[in-house]
Structure 1
Amino acid sequence: MRVRGQKVKHKPAILDKGTRCRPTCQLAASVAVVMATTILVTGLILCLALCTAPQVDQASKTVTELMERLQQCQKERRDVNLMLHNVTQDSRCSLCPDHWLWWRGRCYFFSVELQENRQWNESAEFCQQHNSSLVVIKDSAEMEFIQSVMEKLPQFPFLWVGLTDAEKEGQWLWLDGLDIQHYMPAMVEWDADHRDCADLRGGGRLFAASCEDYGPWACEKDS
């Protein structure tokens, strides 16, 4: 159950230790992917050639040459796979900072068990300090992802999101300035004059709450 106006303390975590992907790692990964694709296409062409080789006197020689080339492609593919593995294991190439989760090209931070509960404004400031913002839920897939994280932690019944009607009562806007209905059908329950900030709960339901209440939150940013 939510306890209004109380802090729940957890051991602070040190975030963003410079594990952003460096250009050299990105280049290595891109080259490896291109090489792997080229090798796979070449192998496919060779396999088709083996199946359709002309039935002539030179067929046996042609098949032998194709088999040797195919074996060479397989060896190159193994080398590329090893390169990809080494690149992805390099901590410098992590797509997101420590304690952030990657999903669909974005990084998400869930404060539960990592930071003390905060008021809505304090949560928003935390996200800004880490080059991010409180989550703006843009579609049902993103909602399902966030809900799946919440379900894994029983003590995580709600969290602050980037939705408020502080500027105009009853007009709920995401932090990107767009109306709550812009991305998907949604409504904020328990709306009242003194409840200007929204939190997300189970079932994808949004509730109005006092911005002075303390709770966990979620940040998001590009990976």
Structure 2
Amino acid sequence: MAEKAGMAPTSMEELKSLILDSNTTLIKKMDEHSKKADKRMGVLADKIAQNDRVIKMLEVDVRSWNRFIPQRKRKPSFVVYLLLAFSYLLILILFGIVLYRVANLPAEVTKMHKQLQETKDFFPCGSRTREWEYFDGGCYYFGIEAVTWDTAKAHCEERSSKLVVINEEAKQNFIESQTRGERYWIGLSDKNVEGEWKWIDGTDYRTTFKKWTRGEPNDAGEREDCAQIHAVGEWNDVGCNSKSFYVCEKPLPS
């Protein structure tokens, strides 16, 4: 057999040496395997420790949730019932207020109508047109700019009115009291036919009130075709292109 292997020991010493070398090799391999096993065991130990930490964290979370779960299962406290009762009370109060306002709505409407009527009594020509003066069912505007007769007529029309027509003594007295000695155009002229005086609204001139100054109208210089109230409150014919203040009139707003 020693001849077939080619490696058979020739003496006891060689055999002993061979056995020692073999043992040394085995020990080294066992050491290497042991180190690898230790390393693997260390990795496993780290993983086990990590898993332990995760388990502890989960246990903490579970305990935290457990603290809230009993609160959710608790019955509503007295404070909750008190707040609900207070809310219902507020709803009832608001409902009562609404019912009261609805029941008194006709009275409120009547009150507002009365206030509106009082406003009309103070400003019968309209609260937004306080520059208009009221007299005997009509509204009168006294222009503060001296203009020609045609311009005065246009200004009145822009205000949905016309130059004043004085067809009775009461209106004459009112206009006279408001003009304060100044000259104001009125809605009377004979521009179309000399001597045929006509009111701007078609009122019959011949059969209605007149208050010319003595000697007027005289068409001085054949150029006086428009009438005005002059300083003493009587009427006078003057040139239509001269400039005077003017009086507009319109019916009382409905």
Partner Cα distance (1:122, 1:209) in 2: 15
Structure of higher CA gyration radius: 2
**Contact 1:173–1:179, Cα closer than 8 Å, also in 2:** yes
Q: How does 1:154-169 map to 2 (within 5 A)?
A: 156-169=181-194
In structure 2, the gaps of 5 or more residues are 1-110
Residue in 1 aligned with 2:249?
Answer: 220
**Contact 2:217–2:237, Cα closer than 8 Å, also in 1:** yes
Residue in 2 aligned with 1:76?
Answer: none
Residue in 2 aligned with 1:149?
Answer: 178
AA aligned to 2:250 is K
**Contact 1:191–1:207, Cα closer than 8 Å, also in 2:** no
So what's the TM-score if we normalise by structure 1? 0.54
**Contact 1:110–1:219, Cα closer than 8 Å, also in 2:** yes
**Contact 1:161–1:198, Cα closer than 8 Å, also in 2:** yes
CA RMSD of aligned residues (A): 2.7
**Contact 1:195–1:209, Cα closer than 8 Å, also in 2:** yes
Q: What percent of counterpart residues are identical?
A: 30
In structure 1, the gaps of 5 or more residues are 1-81
Residue in 1 aligned with 2:161?
Answer: 132
Q: How does 1:48-197 map to 2 (within 5 A)?
A: 86-90=115-119, 94-96=123-125, 97-112=129-144, 116-151=145-180, 156-187=181-212, 188-192=216-220, 193-197=222-226
Secondary structure at 1:214 match in 2: coil
Deviation at 1:120, TM superposition (A): 0.3
AA aligned to 1:99 is E
**Contact 1:172–1:179, Cα closer than 8 Å, also in 2:** no
**Contact 1:180–1:186, Cα closer than 8 Å, also in 2:** no
Secondary structure at 1:184 match in 2: coil
Residues 179/204 of structure 1: CA separation in 2 closer, same or farther (3 Å cut): farther
Residue in 1 aligned with 2:237?
Answer: 208
**Contact 1:107–1:221, Cα closer than 8 Å, also in 2:** yes
Q: What's the CA shift string for 1:12-66, capped at 9, x where partnerless?
A: xxxxxxxxxxxxxxxxxxxxxxxxxxxxxxxxxxxxxxxxxxxxxxxxxxxxxxx
How many correspondences in the alignment? 137
Q: What's the CA shift string for 1:120-149, capped at 9, x where partnerless?
A: 000000101111100000100000001111
**Contact 1:171–1:179, Cα closer than 8 Å, also in 2:** no
Deviation at 1:172, TM superposition (A): 1.1
AA aligned to 2:130 is D
Partner Cα distance (2:167, 2:197) in 1: 14
Partner Cα distance (2:237, 2:199) in 1: 13
Give the structure with the higher percent helix.
2
So what's the TM-score if we normalise by structure 2? 0.48
Residues 159/104 of structure 1: CA separation in 2 closer, same or farther (3 Å cut): same
Ranked by relative contact order (alpha carbons within 8 Å, sequence separation 6 or more), the top structure is: 1
Partner Cα distance (1:194, 1:165) in 2: 11
Partner Cα distance (2:238, 2:200) in 1: 16
